Each structure stands twice: as structure tokens, then as C-alpha cells.
Structure 1
Amino acid sequence: MSPRRPNRLARNLKIMRNQSGTYYYYKMPDGKLESLGKNIPESVAIDAATALNIALTDQESLVNRIARRAEELRNYNPSNPPMSQVLDEYSHMLHVALENEKQAKNTVSIKLSKLEEYMGIWSKIRVQDMRTFDLNNLLKTKTPHAQQKHVPLMRDIFRYAITSGYCDINPADQLKAKEPEARIRHRHTFDSYMQIYKISPDWLKRAMDIALYSLQRRSDLVEIQIAKDIDIQSCSIKILQRKTRNYKTPVHINIKMGGPLWSAVSDAITSPTHCPYLIHCRPARMDRRDIAAKPHPFAILPDYLTKQFKKWRDKSGVYDHLQSNERPSFHDIRALGIMLYFKAGYPKEYIMALAGHATEDMTNHYIDGHEQTQPLQVAAGLDISTIDMSNINWKDQRIPRELAKLIDDEES
């Protein structure tokens, strides 16, 4: 099938033809293709695309934009600029911090997305006219967890405005974020994990075991390449954790695999589905968009891994007594693994290093005399056959504070 643009009026309309018929799609602003129908009159598709173009585009005329800009310039006061200028300048500061490796890429990206939201609400308000009331009205629309992120950012924006001489008072100083609500999702128990494991397809079983024993996040697991990252001779895996790649000192570990982890990895390497990625499967169906989004047709994307685990988790019925949003996810296998390592008697420093949260003393091993980064050597030696599961109280969450923080760590 080959797309073409049939008409200037039908901007963003894509037509694809094959033996089964003619398919019409509309390209959304985020790049996704939304179906308009199959074998419909082309004029109908053009009308639909034209209507969507109007609905999704700012239709303000050029004359109105020029007039509005002229009015803004007449009223411009350099000592009391509009919030649009303050937010633009603060955004530039974030980009500079990213370039100088003073802030992580993911952190900057999250802040920039919030700045875009602020720009849409406050851009025309002069900075000295901003009130705590205005900020609090936005906070009311956010969950307590989100408020914990917005309040520090708001305070920092107005600190910048004060140091730039634009205002004397920080309206965000009086804000108070609500305490985050108690965790909704429950944790896996080992028995529940095994019930899901028993009915899962082989590729998912391997992914579950690799996650359980290695303690790595979903986003890192799906990127492991057999030839590049696995040393069969030494039974080890190299991981450069995605969440830390833009840190000044990224977390780069080399995991020595114990028997159970190596068994899962070995099964993946020798699976009949040939793929350069360790975690892989042959999907029942594939379309062009799926293939284009993946580095290999049989590779697994993080969202697909989550959705497939959810599918087989719910098929097992093990969490039928819980609401859908209370049921533990694939990411929570990492928390189960941390708990199992702890219950098996492994030191917290061992567990933290394996999970990618080494102590300061341990990170000293990252650097050699020429400041060349070297992976931290860790081991994944857990063997659940050595643990008496009947003696574990899964409701007892009393573990060292550092490990509790790891367990509550969300996916990047």
C-alpha cells in the first residue's frame, strides 16, 4: 500500500490501497493515523479531513494576529513583562541546564510539558499580576501526586522572575500541595506470581523471570540485545539504565547471572523465534505501523509487555477480588524480586546495587584513573528454591528504608 495526498483541501488525509480495498486515514497532530473508513466515497473522506483540519488548527486570521501583537507591543513594560516572556526565559534556562548535564533529559522534558500548560493559561497575564489564587486554581485540578511536582516548579519560576527584577513577591511561596493518596495498587505475592506464570506464553514467562531475578525495569529489559549485551562465556548482562542515561554519572552495571536467571536468559537466546533482542515474540498479526514503531518485527515494546502481562494476569483470575486499578502490574515484579532478595537474606547494599541504586562508596568503582566509565559489577544470585515461602508474611512490609524506596520506584 502506498499513501498519497489527493487534494490540497484534504491536508493530512492519507489514502492506502491494496487488494482488499481503499482505506482512508487522517494524520493526527501527534502523528498517529486515525481511520476514516474503508471503500467510502473519496469526497466524503476529503470533507471529513477538511473539517478535522479546521477543528484542530488555530484559525485566527493573519490580520487579527498582527493587530493583537501590535496591541501587546504598545502595552509592553520591560520591568513587568507578560508571563509568556518569563516562561520562555525559564524554558531557555532548562535547555541550558540539559546541555551542561546539570539536569536529566527526562526531568527537563517533564518540566517543559508543565511550562506549555502554564503558557496556555497565563501567557497574557503580567508577572506582577499573578496571584497565589491563580496558581491554586490550577493546582485544584491536579491529583495530590501531581501537585507535589507542580508546586516546586512554580516556586522556582517565580524565584527566577524575582532575580530577574520582574517582581518582588513569590506568589507560589504560600502554596501547599496535598499529601499524595495512599498507594492503590497492591503488591504481588509469590503464589500469585506463580499462578500468572503457569498460564502465560513461554516468551512472557521468560520476561517475567528475567525481571524477577535481575530487578531491572521494563524499559531496560526490552532493550537488551543478545549479541551486544550478553556475554555467554561469563554468564553476564550489561545494562545502561535508561532512566539514568542523561545523568552526569549514568548507572551502568554488569550483572553476573545466577542459575535461575541464566536459565531464563538461555531459553530466550535459544528460542525458535530468531530476534536480536532478548525479550521477543512473534505476534499473531502485524501491520505497517507496528513494524515501523519497533527496532525489529519480533521485538517487544514496553507498553506491549505491560498489556500482555495484564491480559494473562486477568485470565489467571488471581486478582479477581481487586478492582482493575488495584491489581499489580508487570513493573511490580521488580518490587516482588526486591522483597524476595531481602527475605532470602541478601544485604541491602547487594540489592540496591543490582537494582541500579548503588551507594556512594560503590559508585567510586565506576571511574578509573582516566575517568573512563566502567560498569559496576553486580550479581543476581537469587534462587527461590532456597526460600521457605510458607514462612513469609507478605503483608509485612517492614524492610530497610532504602529498599522501601526502591519498591515504590515508578517506571521511567
Structure 2
Amino acid sequence: MNPPRPNRLARNLKIMRNKSGTYYYYKMPDGKLESLGKNIGDAVAVDAATALNIALTDKDSLVNRITKRAEELRTYNPSNPPMSQVLDEYKQTLLTALENKKQAKNTVSIKLGKLVEYMEMWSKIRVQDMRTFDLNNLLKTKTPHAQQKHAPLMREIFRYAINAGYCDINPADQLKAQEPDARIRQRHTWDGYCKIYKVAPDWLKRAMDIGLYSLQRRSDLTEIQIARDIDIQTRSIRVLQRKTRNYKAPVHLNIKMGGPLWLAVHSAITSPTHCPYLIHCRPERRDRRDIAAKPHPFAVLPDYLTKHFKKYRDLSGAYDHLEPKQRPSFHDIRALGIMLYFKAGHPKEYIMALAGHATVEMTDHYIDGHEASKPLQVAAGLDISKIDMNDINWKDHRLPTELVKLMDEEG
């Protein structure tokens, strides 16, 4: 048998020629050769190999793509377009609203993120073929908190479709988002915070104070690096909020530190435990797996922070009158800080800007200078001495709705 000649006709086609005839084979994805026949002719073998290449590849052929596009154009109905067109048009209304400052930048970014998900699921379905069933199937995959965001957006999209004349019925009107579970954990009181603080180790005290005065989440606190994010000269901290990193407009803050926050940060910077991360500690025991999971042996991960706060919370006896599931966590320090800022007389816009829930316009009063810049310049100037703790009803905060939502926000 002669060796096979190089095949320049079709990918994966193998031709074997000998005295008894010409044999044609196709090389399958697993490497095995499948016979296409004997003496069928090169042209027939090439056609067969080409067809197999198209059938067995994940990528669509150019011919198929053109054919599908032609079919879509042939059956296109301008009064009943595919959802891809509706979603694209609705997206433009969002961007226009943002440009005209009728919707906040963060709100628009969150909605745009959800549109990407909808496009992947429904792009080829015609708008009049969308059913409540289809929408509810997606809704059921979300947490109750997420459902509270998705259902109104879906109603808004189909209201746009109705106004555009694409459909007469809003399939999202019948959607019912689940109510989030009633809050189980109670909030911190100042007395409870102080009792925990009294028994906590120094590294945890610093973490508590930095969280209280900066209003940042534990995941953001544990990622702050001293050399990269702390400016000692201006006494400021740069924070790129982890929760927003996938948004089109991530929340990037530059926090100007007031006295109490600076004391906690300075204490961390000058601690005898040398570590590039602001929140750090020398662990009681060093496990190889723990060390491998951390960016530095002395860095503190979010779960470690939560676990050790819980340990000293219970050791302090601050909330012994509550069931374990009702006792506030490290995350709830953020809610305590929000309330204390409000009780100290800071306006809600100031607090929302510091927490990362504000538009550029809302932060204008707290920017050094008059031009909005990135990162947003905000201030953490809480002064506990200005608050009469006895004047606070710890069970009835009576805060603006926007701040209550911030306090109830999931970690």
C-alpha cells in the first residue's frame, strides 16, 4: 500500500490509493478513521468530508449563517419583531434617560446587566409569543431579593413594547415576586458594639472601627492594600466596591478620613504584624490550605472576619438575650454606622455617597473642588461625641427609606 498523499481538498479527508483501488476515510474528532467508501471519486469524498466538518463542529458555517439570516429577513414582521430588537430599543431608552439625567447611573448599569441575561434567553422569540410562563421560569431561579428587581424591569420592558405597538398585552403584569424573608437578625446597638469591642483583639477592633466609620462591606475592607489604596498625605482610602465590579459603571470611591477612621487605619498601618493588607492578623494556627487560599499569610478573608467577630460577640455576652440566629453579625456594623451618621446630623445624600449608592450629582457637595472626578471623592467624618446615645430608640430608627434599604442590603 502506498503512503497517503497529502490531502489539500477537504479537512479531515484521508485518501489511500493502492493497486486494488482508492479508499476514502474521514478522521473523526476522537482520531478514529471512518470509511467513506472505495472508488467513490475525489469530488464525492470532498463533499462528504465538508458536510461532516460542518455537522461535527461547534461553529456554524458561513453558508448556514447566511441561510439563517436570509430566513429571518424573509419571515421578519415589523409589528411583531424578535425580543432582540425590543431589548435593543429599550436599552436605548435607558441610555437616553441616563443622558438626560432622569435615571441614576448605577440604576441604569444594573438594568443593562439584566438585559444581557434576557437577550441570551429570549433574543429569537417574537415579542407577541412571550408568555408569563417564560418570564416566571427565569424569575423562579432568582432569590426573593433579586425577584423584587427583575419583575418591575420585565413589566417596564413590555410596557415599552406596548407603547411601540408591538403587542397589546403585558405578560409581566401577572408576575408576582416573592417577598424577601422577614429579617431574622437584629441590629446592633451602641452598647452591644462597645461590649464586643472591649473583648475583641486589636486586629478585630481595627476592622470594626474601619467598617463602622467607612460604611464599606467586609469584602471591600479585606481587599484594601496599604501601599496601593491608602494615601497617608491626604488621609484617604481608595475603594473599588467588589459588588459593583461587573457593572458598566463600577463604584470607585476615594474616602477622605475623619479623625476616628484615621486613628483606626493608622493603627493598622503601624501594627507590629507586617502585612500589605490593611485588615490583617497573625493567625492562631497556620494551616497549609488556609495559607494557600490567602493572598498573604497574615491577610484576613471575609469568612474569617465573620467567624471571629461571631466568636467575640458571643464571648462578650452583648446579645445573650437573643437567639443565636437573631444576633447581629459583622455585616450589620455597616447598618449601625449608617444610623449613627444620620443621628449625628449628616444628610442622607452624604451617607449614600459614602456607602457607594449615589449619583455623581449627589456627591457634588462632598467633592474637593467643584468638578466630579473618578474615583468619587467622599468623606467619612462621623464624630460619635456629637450623638446622644440615650436619645436613640434602638428598636425604632425612623430613618429615610433610602437609608433603611441600605441597612437591609445583603452583604
Q: State the TM-score, normalizing by the size of structure 2.
A: 0.62
The one-letter code matched in structure 1 to 2:394 is: W
Q: Which residues of 2 match residues 328-343 of structure 1 at below 5 A? A: 328-343=328-343
Give the corresponding residue for 1:57. none
Q: Relative to structure 2, which stretch is displaced further, 142-151 or 278-287?
A: 142-151
Structure 1 position 340, deviation (Å): 1.9
Q: Which residues of 2 match residues 8-47 of structure 1 at below 5 A? A: none
- Where does structure 1 lack aligned partners over 5 or more consecutive residues? 1-61, 63-72
SS in 2 for 1:255: strand
Structure 1 position 289, deviation (Å): 6.6
Give the corresponding residue for 1:263. 263
Residues 254-283 of structure 1, C-alpha deviations (whole Å, 9 max, x = no match): 31321x322221221122221111111233
SS in 2 for 1:378: strand
Query: C-alpha separation between the residues in 1 aligned to 2:393 and 2:110?
Result: 37
Give the corresponding residue for 2:149. 149
C-alpha spacing 1:376/1:247, structure 2 compared with 1 (3 Å): farther
> Is 1:239 aligned with 2:239?
yes
The one-letter code matched in structure 1 to 2:343 is: K
Query: C-alpha separation between the residues in 2 aligned to 1:155 and 1:322?
Result: 41
> Contact (CA 8 Å) 2:240, 2:253: kept in 1 or not?
yes
Give the corresponding residue for 2:272. 272
Query: C-alpha separation between the residues in 1 aligned to 2:123 and 2:250?
Result: 37
Q: Which residues of 2 match residues 190-229 of structure 1 at below 5 A? A: 190-229=190-229
The one-letter code matched in structure 2 to 1:378 is: A
Give the corresponding residue for 2:59. none
> Contact (CA 8 Å) 2:353, 2:362: kept in 1 or not?
no
Give the corresponding residue for 1:318. 318
Give the corresponding residue for 1:70. none
SS in 2 for 1:239: strand
Give the corresponding residue for 1:172. 172
Give the corresponding residue for 1:376. 377
Aligned length: 339
SS in 1 for 2:336: helix
Give the corresponding residue for 2:254. 253
Q: Percent identity?
A: 65
Query: C-alpha separation between the residues in 2 aligned to 1:255 and 1:87?
Result: 44
Structure 1 position 142, deviation (Å): 6.2
Residues 119-147 of structure 1, C-alpha deviations (whole Å, 9 max, x = no match): 5xx99998765533554476568664343
The one-letter code matched in structure 1 to 2:303 is: D
> Is 1:132 aligned with 2:129?
no
C-alpha spacing 1:155/1:387, structure 2 compared with 1 (3 Å): closer
Query: C-alpha separation between the residues in 2 aligned to 1:155 and 1:329?
Result: 36
Alpha-carbon RMSD across the aligned residues, in angstroms, is: 4.9
Q: Relative to structure 2, which stretch is displaced further, 339-348 or 163-172?
A: 163-172
Query: C-alpha separation between the residues in 2 aligned to 1:139 and 1:234?
Result: 46
Residues 288-335 of structure 1, C-alpha deviations (whole Å, 9 max, x = no match): 5752x4332322233332233233334444334434443322121011
The one-letter code matched in structure 2 to 1:380 is: G
> Is 1:286 aligned with 2:287?
yes
- Where does structure 2 lack aligned partners over 5 or more consecutive residues? 1-55, 57-67, 100-104
Query: C-alpha separation between the residues in 2 aligned to 1:113 and 1:152?
Result: 15
Computing the radius of gyration over CA atoms, which structure comes out larger, 1 or 2?
2
C-alpha spacing 1:111/1:361, structure 2 compared with 1 (3 Å): closer
Query: C-alpha separation between the residues in 2 aligned to 1:324 and 1:79?
Result: 60
> Contact (CA 8 Å) 2:364, 2:372: kept in 1 or not?
no
